[in-house]
């Protein structure tokens, strides 16, 4: 007898089927969730998802979370000896029902970063305390003097020389979404997990268990146009489509899961 999991494999186990689920009728909201799940998006803002292409697909892929047991082995005869003992044991696997490479064509507004210029000047201490305060409005002068046991402007003048640095950041240009320079293609790995029942708690737990089991696979790399990579896999959870009046609405589930960086997909039961 075919199960819901079997029907999902048949429906989403091809590039065409998975693409239609990730971006149904051109709706790329779920793709944005996947992109944000693997990048912290601190350097760029996704303005538009232009295209989605699903590449290689693998079915029923196991991942083994590394576990280490440490201890020591001692003996007394003929003479005392101690040996450190470390064992790496592979436990039960965490399964990705579908594993796919997904290429996403994006229009991204990138923070240019960088410094335009830096100007450093010496603070004039020849005037009054009020004159000093006016030159360093960002500094609590009274607290500074208290900490350093200073009482008068003369004490300030004799204690230190004071420098103020003004740093001007590079101003971003006006963002033009039609400029080809703002178009980027990124690849993400997507793990699809299938639940046979509409169990939101189990779905979120499965997604987070998968993340915990695969987090060590994140390769160290410099920031991309989207920022630092934060996870090796984006996770999508497939649930049976709600049918009963008491079932939660799909919009509420999607919002709940997206808040945890997980994409929720709904398919009809066989």
Q: Is residue 233 over pLDDT 80?
A: yes
H or E element in which residue 186 lies: strand 183-194
User: Which pLDDT score is estimated for 170?
Assistant: 77
Confidence bin at 210 (pLDDT 50/70/90)? very high
Q: Is residue 227 over pLDDT 60?
A: yes
Q: Are 158 and 63 in contact (CB under 8 A)?
A: no
User: Which pLDDT score is estimated for 106?
Assistant: 95
Q: Omega into 78 within 30° of 0, i.e. cis? A: yes
Which DSSP category does 24 fall into? G
Confidence bin at 35 (pLDDT 50/70/90)? very high
116-174 confidence digits (pLDDT tens)? 788 898 989 888 999 999 999 888 999 999 999 999 999 988 998 898 988 887 777 78
Rounded to a whole number of angstroms, the CA Rg of the chain reads: 29
User: Which pLDDT score is estimated for 203?
Assistant: 97
Q: Are 242 and 267 in contact (CB under 8 A)?
A: no
Task: Work out the angle at residue 169's Cα, subtended by the Cα atoms of residues 165 and 174, and round it to the nearest 5 degrees.
Answer: 160
Q: Is 140 helix (H, G, I), strand (E, B) or coil?
A: coil
261-270 confidence digits (pLDDT tens)? 999 999 998 8
Tally Cβ neighbours within 10 Å of residue 43.
Answer: 17
The model's pTM: 0.74
Query: Regarding beta strands 262-267 and 81-90, do their DSSP bridges make them parallel or antiparallel, or are they unpaired?
Result: unpaired
User: Which pLDDT score is estimated for 257?
Assistant: 97
User: Which segment, 77-86, 134-143, 229-238, is predicted with the most confidence on average?
Assistant: 229-238
Q: Give bridge partners of residue 81 from the DSSP assignment.
A: 75
- Residues 3-12: what's their mean pLDDT? 95
Phi, psi dihedrals of residue 20, rounded to the nearest 5°: -65, -30
Which of 95, 27, 105, 73 minimizes the C-alpha distance to 237? 95
d(CA 47, CA 32): 10
């Amino acid at each position: 007898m075919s199960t819901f999991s079997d029907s999902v494999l048949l429906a989403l186990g091809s590039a065409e089927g998975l693409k239609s689920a990730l971006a149904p009728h051109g709706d790329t909201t779920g793709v944005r969730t996947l992109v944000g799940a693997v990048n912290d998006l601190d350097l760029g803002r996704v303005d538009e998802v232009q295209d989605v292409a699903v590449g290689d697909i693998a079915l029923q892929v196991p991942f083994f979370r590394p576990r280490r047991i440490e201890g020591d082995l001692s003996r007394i005869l003929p003479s005392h000896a101690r040996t450190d003992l470390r064992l790496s044991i592979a436990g039960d696997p965490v399964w990705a029902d579908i594993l796919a490479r997904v290429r996403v064509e994006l229009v991204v507004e990138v923070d240019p970063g960088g410094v335009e210029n830096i100007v450093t000047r010496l603070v004039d201490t020849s005037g009054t305390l009020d004159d000093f305060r006016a030159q360093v409005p960002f500094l609590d002068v009274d607290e500074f003097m208290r900490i350093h046991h200073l009482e008068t402007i003369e004490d300030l003048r004799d204690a230190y020389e004071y420098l103020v640095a003004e740093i001007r950041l590079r101003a971003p240009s006006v963002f033009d979404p039609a400029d080809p320079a703002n178009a980027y293609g990124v690849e993400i790995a997507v793990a699809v997990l299938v639940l046979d029942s509409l169990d939101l708690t189990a779905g979120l737990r499965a997604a987070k268990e998968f993340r915990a089991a695969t987090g060590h696979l994140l390769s160290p790399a410099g920031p991309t146009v989207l920022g630092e990579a934060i996870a090796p896999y984006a996770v999508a959870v497939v649930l049976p489509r709600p049918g009963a009046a008491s079932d939660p609405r799909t919009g509420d589930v999607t919002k709940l899961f997206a808040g945890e960086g997980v994409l929720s997909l709904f398919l009809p039961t066989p």
